[in-house]
């Protein structure tokens, strides 16, 4: 019997009271459906709609798009999240692994992907590689100090040159027990790892911990005084030809240059994650700062929090001594002023300049690891919250070929006694659209199936109960 015949038959055989009760059941089912509609449509400030574009990723760090508009995802594999790999999302939505974990050997995590003249570039730990058709890698730059707290990161191509952001090995210039939490100090292969200066420096006589450790020295090694600079350094933006030759220092004195992009004026911009109150040289209340990059500049690390000296009482960490300078001489007395400062808990990460209706060309959308996206007016230094609903640990932002905004979300992040951990395959690429029709609610097939099952189950339960015994 067809459903169109069954419904009248059931209705005709039920008393008015039971019909009324059935109506209540159907209304309840309808409410369940409406709840499901709203559960699947995640709204945020300024009438934005965010939906998962790609799920089940191993701590993704960023995405880009190839010449055919297919998404390329750098899955870092950090913190126990899964295997590092370069993933391509096909037009059908299927995932293709272009580079598997074994290709990186020990040079992990995978932190960045970029496309230049049809070639795919990857940054992983202290290495920049080009991807071959068979999934193997050809190294363009290697030997950078990228196994520490903040490895080499994002790549930008400008005027035929490659620019590479490289973070520091430590929080503030001294290897300590806090680096055990990042895992690298537990590895015997990294026992000699320490920060490498980009220019010749002399450090003070100050030492830290017991046994004592000097600044810019291996763990529990003291007596270091003078060090030679090298372009194979950290806490910097480096410059090289696309094949990796001609490596030089573009700027240095950055701590964790988490985001690096070209602005509409063809200048480099960088987001810098500031000091933390941890380790043998903790520095409290330090800002995260956003800069327009000036070639040749020193941005203050390890002795300035953005443009202010760490000797200022505002940077006194709780129950710890006032930080002192560890460099005898500074390249400049006044490091460059940032365009904006954010509080120490913001966890400033990657960013993208606004396009279309997202803002003025000089506006910047910035991902904050604390769980939201903000919009910064680079002309005034003012910012506003843009999006926070449903995000876990956003680390980067990208506009797709069609102008759609994508958020790279690392996943479920926890700092445990065993170190920095990310939930297995908990990473997400979010797709964000400006919802111009707020009354139009979208529902995914999974919720449609769920609500139909719930509705039919309620009706069936009632009919079984109403059946004469």
pLDDT for 77-119, tens place per residue? 999 999 999 999 999 999 999 999 999 999 999 999 999 999 9
Total of domains in the chain: 2
The domain that contains 335 carries what CATH number?
2.120.10
Which pair of tokens denotes residue 371?
């769980």
Q: In which domain, by residue range, is 455 found? A: 3-41+444-466
> Is 389 domain-assigned?
no
> Using CA of residue 192, residue 236, residue 142, residue 132, what is the dihedral sign?
positive
- DSSP H helical ranges for 103-201: 178-181
> Is 365 domain-assigned?
no
Cα–Cα distance list, 65 to 90, 202, 411, 432 (Å):
11, 44, 21, 16
> Is 430 domain-assigned?
no
User: What confidence category does residue 388 fall into, taking pLDDT thresholds of 50, 70 and 90?
Assistant: confident
Tell me: do 190 and 73 sit in the same domain.
Answer: yes
Tell me: do 7 and 82 sit in the same domain.
Answer: no
pTM, 2 dp: 0.84
Three-state DSSP class for 450? helix
Tell me: do 209 and 269 sit in the same domain.
Answer: yes
Tell me: do 75 and 145 sit in the same domain.
Answer: yes
> Is 402 domain-assigned?
no
Could you tell me which of 53, 169, 87 has the C-alpha nearest to residue 431? 53
Cα distance between residue 112 and residue 122, in whole Å: 6
Tell me: do 11 and 108 sit in the same domain.
Answer: no
Which pair of tokens denotes residue 81?
């999240």
CB 281, CB 173: distance < 8 Å: yes
pLDDT tens for each residue of 132-170: 999 999 999 999 999 999 999 999 999 999 999 999 999
> Is 384 domain-assigned?
no
Neighbours of 347 (CB within 10 A): 22
Q: What is the pLDDT of residue 441?
A: 42
**What mean pLDDT do residues 417-432 have?**
92
Q: What is the pLDDT of residue 385?
A: 93
Q: Decide which of 186 and 1 is more confident.
A: 186
> Is 261 domain-assigned?
yes
Tell me: do 25 and 92 sit in the same domain.
Answer: no
Tell me: do 30 and 104 sit in the same domain.
Answer: no
- In the chain, pLDDT over 70 holds for what percent of residues? 83
Query: Burial of 460 by CB count in 10 Å (0-12 exposed, 13-18 middle, 19+ buried)?
Result: exposed
User: What confidence category does residue 420 fall into, taking pLDDT thresholds of 50, 70 and 90?
Assistant: confident
Tell me: do 22 and 97 sit in the same domain.
Answer: no
> Is 397 domain-assigned?
no
| Backbone torsions φ then ψ of 182, nearest 5 degrees | -85, -5
Beta strands in 142-296 (DSSP E): 152-158, 161-166, 201-202, 226-227, 236-240, 248-252, 256-262, 268-273, 288-292
Q: What is the pLDDT of residue 463?
A: 59
> Is 439 domain-assigned?
no
Domain end point (choices 318, 343, 368): 343
Domain end point (choices 286, 308, 343): 343
Which pair of tokens denotes residue 362?
């000089």
Tell me: do 187 and 144 sit in the same domain.
Answer: yes
Could you tell me which of 278, 281, 284 has the C-alpha nearest to residue 415? 278
**Long-range contact set of residues 72-75: C-beta below 8 Å, sequence gap at least 24:** 72/98, 72/113, 72/115, 72/120, 73/113, 73/408, 73/429, 74/110, 74/111, 74/112, 74/113, 74/122, 75/110, 75/427
Tell me: do 79 and 189 sit in the same domain.
Answer: yes
CB 379, CB 364: distance < 8 Å: no
Domain end point (choices 343, 358, 392): 343
Tell me: do 295 and 221 sit in the same domain.
Answer: yes
Tell me: do 159 and 279 sit in the same domain.
Answer: yes
């Amino acid at each position: 019997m067809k459903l169109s015949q069954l419904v009248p038959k059931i209705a005709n055989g039920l008393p008015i009271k039971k019909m009324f009760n059935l109506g209540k059941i159907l209304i309840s089912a309808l409410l369940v459906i409406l709840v499901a509609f709203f559960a699947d449509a995640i709204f945020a400030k300024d009438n934005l709609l965010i939906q998962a574009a790609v799920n089940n990723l191993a701590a993704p760090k960023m995405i880009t798009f190839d010449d055919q508009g297919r998404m390329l995802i750098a899955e870092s594999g950090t913190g126990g999240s899964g295997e590092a790999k370069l993933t391509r999302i096909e037009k059908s939505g299927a995932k293709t692994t272009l580079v598997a974990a074994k290709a990186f050997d020990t040079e992990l995590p995978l932190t960045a992907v970029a496309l230049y003249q049809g070639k795919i570039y990857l940054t992983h730990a202290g290495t920049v590689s080009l991807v071959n058709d068979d999934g193997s890698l050809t190294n363009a730059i290697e030997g950078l100090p990228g196994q520490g707290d903040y490895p080499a990161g994002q790549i930008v191509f400008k005027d035929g040159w490659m620019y590479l952001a490289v973070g520091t090995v430590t929080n503030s210039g001294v290897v300590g027990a806090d680096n055990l939490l990042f895992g690298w100090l537990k590895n015997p292969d990294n026992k000699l790892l320490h920060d490498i200066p980009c220019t010749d420096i002399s450090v003070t006589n100050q030492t830290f911990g017991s046994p004592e450790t000097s600044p810019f020295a291996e763990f529990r090694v003291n007596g270091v005084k003078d060090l030679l600079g090298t372009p194979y350094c950290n806490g910097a933006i480096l410059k090289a030809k696309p094949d990796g030759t001609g490596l030089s220092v573009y700027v240095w004195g950055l701590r964790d240059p988490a985001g690096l992009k070209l602005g509409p004026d063809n200048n480099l911009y960088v987001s810098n994650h500031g000091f933390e109150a941890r380790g043998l040289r903790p520095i409290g209340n330090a800002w995260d700062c956003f800069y327009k990059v000036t070639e040749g500049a020193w941005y203050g690390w390890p002795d300035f929090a953005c443009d202010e000296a760490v000797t200022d009482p505002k940077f006194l960490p709780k129950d710890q001594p006032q930080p002192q300078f560890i460099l005898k001489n500074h390249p400049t007395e006044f490091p460059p002023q940032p365009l904006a400062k954010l509080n120490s808990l913001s966890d400033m990460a990657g960013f993208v300049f606004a396009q279309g209706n997202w803002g003025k060309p000089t506006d910047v959308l910035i991902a904050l690891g604390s769980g939201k996206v903000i919009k910064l007016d680079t002309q005034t230094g003012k910012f506003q919250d843009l999006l926070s609903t449903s995000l876990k640990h956003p680390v980067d932002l990208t506009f797709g070929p069609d102008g759609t905004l994508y958020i790279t979300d690392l996943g479920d992040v926890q700092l445990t006694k065993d170190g920095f951990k990310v939930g297995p395959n908990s990473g997400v690429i979010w797709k964000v659209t400006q919802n111009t029709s707020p009354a139009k609610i979208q529902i995914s097939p999974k919720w449609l199936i769920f609500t139909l099952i719930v509705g039919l189950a309620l009706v069936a339960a009632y009919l079984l109960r109403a059946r004469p015994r």
